[in-house]
Structure 1
Amino acid sequence: MKVFHFHFGKDGGAETFFVHLIGALGRREVEQLAVIRKQRAWRTKIAPYAEIIESNFRNLSIDRLALPLKVRALAREHQPEAIMSWATRGSRLMPPYRAGITLSRLGDYPTHLGYFRNTDVLICNTPGIADHVRRIGWTRGVEVISNFTATEPVPPAARTDLNTPADAPVVMAMGRFVKRKGLNILIEAAALVPDIYLWIAGDGEELPALEALVAERGLAHRTRFLGWRQDTRPFVAAADLFVMPSFHEPLGNVILEAWAQKRPVISTRSEGPSWFMTDEENGLLVPIADKDALAGAISRLLTDASLRRGIAEAGHKALIDRFSEEAVAGAYLDLFKRRPAWR
């Protein structure tokens, strides 16, 4: 089986899943070609499993004109069973193709359907996204296939490496530093909980504002900005609990990564977590942008060891039952074999 991928993302949860899926399909002997941005840090991770073409594919570039011609020629030559684009920019590159199935994978809510004129099936990683595309007029195929993450536990990072006392309560968060991730609310909540240390992994445009807020709230001595890490798992494993404070989160890959390390999770009631998390069972859910509720949930978990253990165990079980590599890779392989009935 041959599959082409078009992916022009940078760094984040969607890119992490892209790397995971490329590896899972490669281990199942799928031949793959991936068109990606230049100089991606995760390029080496997919290189063993896919032929790689690097391109900027920007509006004002030679690639914007030449790349569509190149991928059409490659599709005619190799006749892949499936061509799969990732998000909206990749979908703009999708050629007209009738020898196999064309797919666009969505990890967020598109504003319109013009990106997908050559797409047979939209793959949505939550039911909410699937409902949205139908609501705005999509009439072709829709499939809901969620993400998976690596499930093996890893040794925790040494807290001393981050100038953190061994017995201090540590709260971990990670993601792109953009406003919708709600990291400012987490900082505000941390200021209300005495003695906790806050580890935040990631980078982005909001870093100066977040650093300023940390200083303003007097948290500089117990906040650690970890930067962008290729492997965050050791830091998650070393924390006492994980928080995802997003205002808008279609899925929440970081929650799955925390569950893999058997960490208890607190999340806002954003779209994705509200679908796959059950409050008081495999996590604690709090209102969006409510620093007091978030601080209360952090304090509750830190003071109740039994609750922490129970929530962590239930989260890990949900990960294995619903978000395993075997189940998700199998669903993609089945989809790649289909031929659209509406042609």
Structure 2
Amino acid sequence: MKLMQILLSQSEAGAETYFEKVAAAFATDPDFEQRLVIEAQPSRERRLSNAGVDFRTLPMGSVSKPLLYNYMLKRHVAQFAPDLIVTWVNRASRKCPPTQAVVVGRLGGYYDINNYRKCDHLIVNTPDLVRHVTDHQWPLDRVSMISNFGELPPALNVSDPLPEIPAGHKVLLTLGRLHQKKAQDTAIRALAKIPDTTLLIAGSGELLDELQALARAEGVAERVRFLGLRKDIRQLFDLADICLFPSRFEPLGNVVLEAWATGTPIVSAASTGPSWLIEHERNGLLFPVDDAERCATEVNRLLHSPELAETLVRNGAEKYQREFSESVILDQYKTLFTKLVAARRAGKPTTTHT
């Protein structure tokens, strides 16, 4: 099958990172001839090249973009003549040119469904997103729920120096852009009540100065490391004793899956996605959103109970391998893509009930 995936974004956020992971996985599958179309972005191009992914770029220059961007997008689609196109994030779904291919929009958030009207079918990654799209008049038989996987492909890794950790300190790791939704402020406030620990915050964003000021005000500035944007996530998980995920708003939570995949016990705010994934005290610990006191209580509890940590890791790994591993998720993608392409060739609707 000829598979094209289109991402029109300069962001390095969760959806874009997961796009790269899926592309790297399909690049090794002999059943697929894959090609990506992405906006020119040197860092993403280096990672994809290192992973052996075939891609074409769209120009982003101040002159070349307005003149050639849409033309090149249409040309890349026409030249490759895919059987199926996956469009990632809103812009790719809006701008996908006319094609004979099956067009599948992939949503990982509560996006405006009007961006996806060119799509024949949708993939969402949580049951609540199925509800979201059907509440906005998208037909139920044209949406499939396929979640994410959490493996961290070595080929996409970009090494950076690891932070120094004071002797005797445990390490908490939180990942995500520095944004109000990600609630790094909750983690910093909790840290004031978690002795002998260092908090690693991996991510970039507009709240850096505000969060640094909060760390000083809470008296924990010496125990917080702001790492910026990182692409050595596996090494950071290897360094961490606990993954701390305080997000206020999280449709799914790739970080939960990555923690399970790397054998790292997780303490998470009970936002929508983590509450769906985590069974409290079985494969992770949950605390109420914005509750720094309860966050600290759960982290301290875990730090003082190696038996509990071992139980959470074991059960998380079992659930992960059963439901969210790369092989499980890719098989679901492949089954759906095969069905949709076969339906198109037979002149039938591209639904899940053909």
Q: TM-score, normalised to structure 1's length?
A: 0.90
Moved more, 144-153 or 250-259: 144-153
Q: Does 1:71 align with 2:73?
A: yes
Q: Does 1:342 align with 2:316?
A: no
Matches within 5 A, 1:43-192: 43-47=45-49, 48-56=52-60, 63=65, 66-97=68-99, 99-110=100-111, 112-139=112-139, 141-150=142-151, 162-192=163-193
Q: CA deviation at 1:277?
A: 1.3
Aligned equivalent of 2:259? 258
Q: Distance in 2 between matches of 1:314 and 1:151?
A: 20
Aligned equivalent of 2:272? 271
Q: CA deviation at 1:107?
A: 0.8
Residue type at the aligned position of 1:41? S
Q: Distance in 2 between matches of 1:142 and 1:300?
A: 41
Q: Please state whether the residue corresponding to 2:206 is helix, strand or coil.
A: coil
Q: Distance in 2 between matches of 1:138 and 1:152?
A: 34
Q: Distance in 2 between matches of 1:181 and 1:228?
A: 14
Structure 1, gaps ≥5 residues long: 154-159
Residue type at the aligned position of 1:68? N
Structure 2, gaps ≥5 residues long: 155-160
Q: Please state whether the residue corresponding to 1:42 is helix, strand or coil.
A: helix
Aligned equivalent of 1:42? 44
Report if the CA contact (8 A) 1:87-1:105 is conserved.
yes
Report if the CA contact (8 A) 1:81-1:336 is conserved.
no
Residue type at the aligned position of 1:125? N
Moved more, 207-216 or 250-259: 250-259
**Cα distance change, pair 161–94 in 1 and its aligned pair in 2 (3 A):** closer
**Cα distance change, pair 272–255 in 1 and its aligned pair in 2 (3 A):** same
Q: Please state whether the residue corresponding to 2:249 is helix, strand or coil.
A: coil
Q: Distance in 1 between matches of 2:254 and 2:237?
A: 13
Q: CA deviation at 1:162?
A: 2.5
Aligned equivalent of 1:33? 35
Q: Distance in 2 between matches of 1:68 and 1:33?
A: 18
Q: TM-score, normalised to structure 2's length?
A: 0.88
Report if the CA contact (8 A) 1:13-1:254 is conserved.
no
Moved more, 121-130 or 317-326: 317-326
Q: Please state whether the residue corresponding to 1:41 is helix, strand or coil.
A: helix
Percent of paired sites with the same residue: 34
Residue type at the aligned position of 1:35? V
Q: Please state whether the residue corresponding to 1:289 is helix, strand or coil.
A: coil
RMSD, matched Cα: 2.2
Cα displacement string for residues 12-33 of structure 1 (whole angstroms, at most 9, x for unaligned residues): 2222211111111111132222
Q: Distance in 2 between matches of 1:116 and 1:152?
A: 29
Q: CA deviation at 1:143?
A: 0.7
Q: Does 1:294 align with 2:328?
A: no
Q: Distance in 2 between matches of 1:63 and 1:131?
A: 37
Q: Please state whether the residue corresponding to 2:27 is helix, strand or coil.
A: helix
Q: CA deviation at 1:171?
A: 1.1
Cα displacement string for residues 247-305 of structure 1 (whole angstroms, at most 9, x for unaligned residues): 11111111222222211101111111111211110001111111111111111111111
Q: CA deviation at 1:61?
A: 7.1
Report if the CA contact (8 A) 1:31-1:50 is conserved.
no
Q: CA deviation at 1:134?
A: 0.4
Q: CA deviation at 1:44?
A: 2.1
Q: Distance in 2 between matches of 1:33 and 1:167?
A: 48
Report if the CA contact (8 A) 1:152-1:261 is conserved.
no
Q: CA deviation at 1:152?
A: 8.5
Residue type at the aligned position of 1:258? A
Aligned equivalent of 1:234? 235
Q: Distance in 2 between matches of 1:334 and 1:73?
A: 28
Aligned equivalent of 1:205? 206
Q: Distance in 1 between matches of 2:138 and 2:284?
A: 34
Q: CA deviation at 1:227?
A: 1.8
**Cα distance change, pair 75–162 in 1 and its aligned pair in 2 (3 A):** closer
Following TM superposition, the consecutive aligned residue runs of length 4 or more in structure 1 with deviations greater than 4 angstroms are: none
